């Protein structure tokens, strides 16, 4: 295909995306997505699953565009509850709470929300444009990742514990290990017998393990509500007044172009890796922004750079995650799995043809994402920022409503047999999270453990099975160069902070 | 209470460590490693004051306050970014860092408890009542009780209870979850 | 719960799936309200898409819509257990695809008898095939066996441990003579495809429609269709029975052919099952369903209640015969 042909197809796609009713479905999808994403516990996959049967009467292209718009809207919407009430609905939004919520507590909710809308939409915009240009190459990148690399990517995420968590290293590691340990409950793909399921007493309840979304809701939303209940006043304790201006937020994003671009691309690239990608990408981008900062201590306390990193990477992830789904029908996350179902339901078979004969469809999806990002920007800046008023309301009114939302959300997470398990998980983890915060145990480390445990374990086991039990599969620069690079990167992350002072000292003495 | 947390970590980890010996070799490796590491970490933290100096240094850190959102950094960060276009308002109640973290107590007439403790207990009750009569009906009761105990104006009690019910009901409509009835009382048919 | 079901129907009605045209079936009692279809796997998965498409077409002939309820967990056993104990009035039906869920049941031994479920209809079939990374230019099944014997290959990829694919792999080794040494388990069919495409494992077992993308891309070759029924996706592909390694009617014919079916709780009256089954047959014959079949590369074909029940019994008898369940559980 020549460049001119590609351009022609692109303009055809633009025409499709802007035609009626397609453009209407983009708006509907984004708005529905934002609302669903903003509710604690409801993420993109659930939102898309709800919409899936409703797309049946639509044209295939419109149906898929609607689903992708819900995906994009929900990824952005997750930030709203994360910033305002420390209640993320997905692991991607968890990284947003790290600095977004402290900003709210400081009275800068409006600014945090405008940063989130600006960073999300700009990053969404340029990563999708990059994808349109680079999609054939990215397929090769996706295939370069195998089980050893997935394991190492998960390990890279876990290594971020040392970068992100402050204070006692032993506390951080213990919290992380406890999180990892929880993920071993239930069945794994490589063993038939379920573990720690108390099958005689509980039947199937624990077979599919503890829901990590329930853990997130408990650790963040409920723990925070317990904590707020012990303090007078509103969520915001700052003295800044929330004026109607969104300008400082936009300015803040634009004045950190490096973080914005770097995090967007980290999100896109890691997001393209099926399985590990979409869960790890925001943590890696966030960790990288902490690492690159001159003032790592200020992260987690409301540093705008941290928020920009988290928000731009999570929208970058969307475009990236579509690549393996469209090219090989390999969904990398729950959300893309539902999208895949939608594609098949509408007779659009994913595969290489999506990048040849079906290119118009693929491009119209991408164009729809571009349009969606513009909508996110406007809605985010001019509508969503109004919700920052919530942080001024006395928490007495907010606490019971959030607890109701969190628990009702937990009720709908999974099937009936796990309902009460999920609700007790939310409540129990709320208590544990409360005390962990009180005694300065890193919640972030705990979350990383819970999110990455499954990926780490199955891929480690599989790698060792593939290599016949030899660990050399991870450090074989000739046959597994990518693994080798990742190992070096992880080593650098772990050892870096320890040798840095000595190094600076040595350099200073010269 | 920190000891309570650590003992909980330790207890769960010890159980999972021992139980892992009933699994196959491959299935046991990862849980045994994570449980083992949790045990070591929890023990180190439990007995940190008895540890020899150099080891202790690794385990102990400058003890953090409850919340490090740091009101004291507020002024500094505003200055640093120079982007906050707002003026401090003198009669803003939260203006003073000291008042901002004032503890909330709940007065139950015969007993006064810490706000967090009260919220945890009433949440627990909410879940139990939800199990009995369905979360849809328990939600407004929970909100009303919560605000009632805190002696909020009646119109906020009614208004927020209605909002809680509507929020829960929207979940029933959209997700079709069965929260409209519990084990002892099923009011779902009246909807 | 009542209200919840009604709400879902509302959605379905919105989606334009209610066909209230005249009822051809003569049964004036059943159905007078919508029928709940429990899908024990997630939204958008293979079982879900298949079951919904066919049921939506059937609802036009049933005169009532279906409300779908995805009850996931434990390889489909959670939803299956729920329907097993449901009221046998044919207002609660179930969709799963033997031999997958029955195999999970045999392995996990929960305290209900899956064999008591009443068959409603078989609605299609898709065979498992053997795929190879195209760099190796595996010619056919006997070439593959040779190269496994030579030690060029030793590993084979499949979905899950203790699953029907694991069983198929063991039968291929023990009864057909494909001497693999390590079975590498992946979480889903997509992951298996990816492993073969990226040459993490050179040989894999997967469904024919799942392999199509990789084959079209040129990075993956279909080597052989495992059951003798053949593949609609790759009509020219040899089956193992076409070689000297197996014969028609061997165990792999049942075990390596996924057959989506609908089920009813034990004790459901036969006349009601017949009503649904007939509607399903008519639904499958519609142009929409056949167009979906063609687009997705699946075979959608109707067989009646007796065939479905017989299939279930056959799977439940065959699996324990061909593999040692205890050994499977221990892995």
- Residue A476 confidence (pLDDT): 85
- Does A345 have pLDDT greater than 80? no
Secondary structure, 3-state, A117-130: HHHHHHHHHHHHHH
> What mean pLDDT do residues A272-281 have?
73
User: Residue A92 is inside which H or E element, if any?
Assistant: helix A91-105
Neighbors of chain B with 3 or more C-beta pairs under 8 Å: A, C
d(CA A9, CA A11): 5
Label the pairing between strands C118-122 and C261-264.
antiparallel
Q: List Cβ neighbours of C24 (8 Å cut-off, separation of 6 or more).
A: C61, C282
Token pair, residue C226, equals: 């495992």
Please report residues of C whose CB lies closer than 8 A to that of B178.
Answer: 1, 4
pLDDT digits (tens, 9 = 90+) for A220-244: 889 989 988 988 877 777 655 555 5
Range of weakest confidence among A121-130, B80-89, B149-158, C44-53: B80-89
DSSP states of A191-202? EEEEES--HHHH
Closest residue in C to A418 (Cα–Cα): C73
> What mean pLDDT do residues C15-23 have?
39
- Residue A243 confidence (pLDDT): 55
What torsion do the CA atoms of A398, A401, A402, A406 make, to the nearest 10 degrees?
180
- Does B111 have pLDDT greater than 90? no
Token pair, residue A288, equals: 């990288």
- Residue C74 confidence (pLDDT): 79
Please report residues of C whose CB lies closer than 8 A to that of A203.
Answer: 110
Residue C54 burial (CB count, 10 A)? 26
- Does C280 have pLDDT greater than 80? yes
Of A96, A432, A86, A120, nearest to B2 by C-alpha is A432
User: What does each C-alpha distance from B6 to A58, A175, A179, B39, B42 come to in angstroms?
Assistant: 55, 10, 14, 9, 6
- Residue A124 confidence (pLDDT): 92
* Backbone torsions φ then ψ of A35, nearest 5 degrees: -65, -45
Token pair, residue C291, equals: 């167009």
Cβ–Cβ gap B172/C7 under 8 Å:
yes
- The SS3 call for residue C183 is strand
d(CA A341, CA A74): 18
pLDDT digits (tens, 9 = 90+) for C224-236: 999 998 888 899 9
pLDDT digits (tens, 9 = 90+) for C84-123: 999 999 999 999 999 999 999 998 888 899 999 999 999 9
The pLDDT-based confidence of C28 (bands split at 50, 70, 90) is: low
Biggest CA pair distance of chain A: 73
- The SS3 call for residue A284 is helix
Q: List Cβ neighbours of C270 (8 Å cut-off, separation of 6 or more).
A: C305
Q: Which of B27, B176, B178 to mutate to test the interface with C (most CBs of C within 10 A)?
A: B176
- Residue C14 confidence (pLDDT): 38
d(CA A189, CA A167): 36
d(CA A97, CA A99): 6
- Residue B103 confidence (pLDDT): 83
Residue C25 touches chain A, beta carbons under 8 Å? no
* Angstroms from B38 CA to nearest CA on chain C: 27
Token pair, residue C171, equals: 């039968």
Specify the residue for token string 């949790």.
B38
d(CA C297, CA C291): 10
Domain regions of chain B by residue span: 2-59, 105-190
DSSP A473: G
Tell me the ipTM for this assembly.
0.80
Q: Model's pTM, two decimal places? A: 0.82
d(CA A102, CA A300): 7
Please report residues of C whose CB lies closer than 8 A to that of A339.
Answer: 44
Closest residue in C to A55 (Cα–Cα): C15
Residue A186 burial (CB count, 10 A)? 19
> What mean pLDDT do residues A384-390 have?
83
Specify the residue for token string 């985010």.
A380
- Residue B85 confidence (pLDDT): 39
Cβ–Cβ gap B171/A304 under 8 Å:
no
Residue A42 burial (CB count, 10 A)? 27
User: Is the backbone of residue A124 left (phi > 0), alpha (psi -120 to 50) or beta?
Assistant: alpha
Token pair, residue A286, equals: 């966030």
The residue that leads in pLDDT, B60 or C313, is C313
Range of weakest confidence among B89-93, C92-96, C219-223: B89-93
The pLDDT-based confidence of B80 (bands split at 50, 70, 90) is: very low
- Does C143 have pLDDT greater than 60? yes
User: Is the backbone of residue B103 left (phi > 0), alpha (psi -120 to 50) or beta?
Assistant: beta
- Does A64 have pLDDT greater than 50? yes
Please report residues of A whose CB lies closer than 8 A to that of B126.
Answer: 403-404, 407
- Residue C246 confidence (pLDDT): 87
d(CA A468, CA B92): 67
* Angstroms from A346 CA to nearest CA on chain C: 8
Could you tell me where the DSSP H helices lie in chain C? 2-14, 46-62, 77-84, 100-108, 141-149, 164-171, 189-197, 208-217, 251-255, 270-285, 287-296, 305-322, 325-330
* Angstroms from B173 CA to nearest CA on chain C: 5
Range of weakest confidence among A226-240, B6-20, B113-127: A226-240
> What mean pLDDT do residues C167-179 have?
94
- Does B77 have pLDDT greater than 80? no
Specify the residue for token string 């003295």.
A239
Please report residues of B whose CB lies closer than 8 A to that of C10.
Answer: 173
Report whether the peptide linkage leading into residue C31 is cis, meaning its omega lies within 30 degrees of zero.
Answer: yes
Average pLDDT of chain A to the nearest whole number: 85
User: Is the backbone of residue A455 left (phi > 0), alpha (psi -120 to 50) or beta?
Assistant: alpha
Q: List Cβ neighbours of A402 (8 Å cut-off, separation of 6 or more).
A: A40, A85, A87, A221, A225
Cβ–Cβ gap B69/A437 under 8 Å:
no
* Angstroms from C149 CA to nearest CA on chain B: 27
d(CA A311, CA A127): 13
- The SS3 call for residue A247 is helix
Token pair, residue C85, equals: 């104990």
- Does A248 have pLDDT greater than 60? yes
The pLDDT-based confidence of B75 (bands split at 50, 70, 90) is: very low
Domain regions of chain A by residue span: 3-237+247-474
Please report residues of A whose CB lies closer than 8 A to that of B103.
Answer: 230-232
Label the pairing between strands C126-133 and C220-225.
antiparallel
d(CA C211, CA C157): 13
Burial class (CB in 10 A: 0-12, 13-18, 19+), C135: exposed
Residue among A191, A204, A416 minimizing CB distance to C74: A204
- The SS3 call for residue C302 is coil
Q: Which domains does chain C have, with CATH numbers?
A: 2-125+259-330 (3.40.190.150), 127-255 (3.40.190.10)
pLDDT digits (tens, 9 = 90+) for A452-476: 888 889 899 999 999 988 888 898 8
């Amino acid at each position: 295909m020549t460049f001119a042909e590609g351009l022609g197809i692109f303009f055809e796609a633009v025409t499709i995306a802007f035609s009626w009713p397609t453009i209407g479905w983009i708006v509907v999808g984004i708005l529905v997505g934002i609302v669903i994403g903003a509710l604690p516990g409801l993420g993109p996959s659930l939102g898309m699953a709800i919409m899936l049967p409703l797309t049946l009467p639509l044209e295939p292209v419109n149906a898929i565009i609607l689903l992708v718009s819900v995906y994009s809207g929900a990824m952005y919407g997750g930030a709203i509850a994360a910033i305002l009430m420390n209640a993320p609905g997905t692991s991607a939004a968890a990284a947003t709470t790290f600095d977004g919520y402290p900003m709210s507590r400081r009275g800068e909710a409006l600014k945090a929300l405008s940063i989130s809308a600006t960073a999300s939409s700009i990053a969404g915009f340029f990563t999708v444009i990059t994808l349109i240009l680079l999609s054939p190459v990215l397929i090769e990148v996706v295939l370069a990742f195998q089980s050893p690399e997935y394991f190492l990517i998960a390990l890279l995420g876990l290594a971020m514990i040392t970068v992100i968590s402050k204070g006692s290293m032993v506390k951080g590691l213990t919290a992380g290990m406890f999180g990892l340990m929880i993920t071993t409950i239930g069945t794994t793909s490589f063993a038939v017998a379920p573990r720690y399921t108390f099958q005689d007493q509980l039947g199937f309840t624990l077979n599919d393990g503890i829901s990590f979304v329930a853990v997130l809701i408990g650790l963040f939303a409920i723990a925070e509500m317990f904590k707020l209940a012990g303090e007078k006043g509103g969520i915001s304790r700052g003295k800044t007044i929330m004026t109607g201006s969104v300008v400082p937020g936009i300015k803040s994003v634009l004045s950190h172009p490096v973080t914005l671009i770097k995090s967007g691309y980290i999100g896109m690239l890691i997001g393209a890796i099926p399985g590990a990608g979409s869960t790890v990408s925001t943590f890696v981008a966030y960790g990288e922004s902490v690492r690159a900062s001159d003032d790592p201590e200020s992260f987690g306390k409301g540093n705008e750079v941290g928020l920009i990193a988290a928000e731009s990477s999570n929208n970058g992830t969307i475009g990236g995650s579509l690549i393996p789904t469209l090219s090989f029908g390999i969904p990398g996350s729950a959300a893309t799995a539902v999208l895949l179902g939608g594609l098949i339901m509408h007779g659009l078979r994913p595969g290489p043809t999506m990048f040849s004969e079906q290119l118009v469809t693929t491009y119209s999806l991408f164009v729809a994402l571009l349009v969606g990002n513009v909508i996110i920007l406007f809605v985010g800046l001019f509508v969503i920022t109004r919700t920052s008023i919530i942080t001024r309301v006395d928490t007495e009114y907010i606490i019971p409503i959030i607890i109701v939302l969190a628990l009702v959300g937990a009720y709908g997470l999974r099937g009936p047999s796990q309902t009460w398990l999920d609700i007790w998980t939310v409540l129990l983890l709320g208590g544990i999270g409360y005390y962990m915060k009180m005694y300065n145990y890193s919640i972030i480390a705990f979350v990383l453990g819970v999110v990455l445990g499954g990926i780490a374990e199955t891929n480690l086991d599989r790698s060792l099975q593939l290599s016949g039990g030899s660990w050399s599969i991870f450090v074989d620069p000739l046959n597994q160069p990518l693994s080798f690079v990742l190992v070096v990167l992880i080593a650098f992350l772990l050892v870096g902070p320890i040798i840095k002072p000595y190094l600076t000292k040595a350099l200073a003495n010269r | 209470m920190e000891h309570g947390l650590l003992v909980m970590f330790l207890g769960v980890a010890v159980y999972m460590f021992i139980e892992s010996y009933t699994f196959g070799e491959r299935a046991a490796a990862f849980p045994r490693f994570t449980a083992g590491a949790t045990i070591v970490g929890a023990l180190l933290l439990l007995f940190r004051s008895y540890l020899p100096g150099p080891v202790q240094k690794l385990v102990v850190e400058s003890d953090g306050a409850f919340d490090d959102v740091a009101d004291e950094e507020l002024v500094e960060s505003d200055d640093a970014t120079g982007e906050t276009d707002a003026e401090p308002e003198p009669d803003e109640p939260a203006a003073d860092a000291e008042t901002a973290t004032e503890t909330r107590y709940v007065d139950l007439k015969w007993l006064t408890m810490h706000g967090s403790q009260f919220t945890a207990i009433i949440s627990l009750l909410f879940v139990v009542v939800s199990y009995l009569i369905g979360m849809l009906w328990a939600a407004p009761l929970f909100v009303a009780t919560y605000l009632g105990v805190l002696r909020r104006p009646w119109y906020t009690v009614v208004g927020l209870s209605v909002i809680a019910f509507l929020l829960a009901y929207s979940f029933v409509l959209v997700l079709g979850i069965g929260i409209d009835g519990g084990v002892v009382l099923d009011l779902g048919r009246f909807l | 719960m009542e209200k919840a079901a009604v709400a879902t129907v509302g959605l379905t009605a919105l989606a334009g799936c209610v066909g209230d045209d005249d009822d051809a079936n003569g049964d004036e009692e059943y159905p007078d309200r919508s029928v709940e279809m429990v899908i024990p796997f997630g939204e958008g998965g293979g079982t879900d898409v298949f079951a919904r498409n066919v049921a939506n077409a059937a609802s036009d002939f049933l005169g009532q819509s279906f409300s779908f309820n995805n009850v996931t967990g434990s390889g489909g056993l959670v939803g299956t257990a729920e329907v097993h104990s449901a009221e046998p009035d044919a207002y609660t039906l179930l969709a799963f695809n033997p031999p997958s869920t029955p195999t999970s049941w045999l392995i996990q031994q929960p305290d209900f008898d899956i064999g008591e479920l009443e068959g409603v209809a078989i609605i299609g079939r898709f065979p498992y095939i053997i795929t190879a990374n195209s760099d190796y230019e595996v010619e056919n099944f006997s070439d593959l066996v040779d190269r496994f014997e030579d030690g060029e290959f030793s590993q084979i990829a499949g979905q899950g441990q203790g699953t029907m694919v694991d069983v198929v792999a063991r039968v291929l080794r023990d009864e057909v003579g494909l001497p693999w040494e390590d079975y590498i388990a992946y979480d889903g069919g997509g992951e298996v495809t990816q492993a073969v495409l990226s040459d993490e494992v050179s040989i894999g077992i997967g469904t024919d429609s799942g392999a199509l993308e990789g084959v079209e891309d040129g990075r993956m070759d279909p080597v052989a269709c495992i059951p003798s029924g053949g593949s609609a996706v790759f009509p020219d592909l040899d089956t193992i029975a076409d070689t000297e390694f197996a014969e028609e009617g061997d165990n792999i014919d049942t075990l390596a052919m996924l057959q989506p079916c609908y089920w009813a709780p034990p004790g459901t009256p036969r006349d009601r099952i017949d009503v649904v089954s007939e509607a399903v047959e008519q639904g499958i014959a519609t142009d929409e369903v056949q167009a979906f079949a063609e687009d997705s590369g699946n075979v959608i074909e109707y067989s009646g209640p007796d065939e479905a029940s017989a299939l279930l019994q056959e799977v439940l008898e065959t699996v324990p015969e061909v593999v040692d369940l205890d050994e499977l559980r221990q892995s």
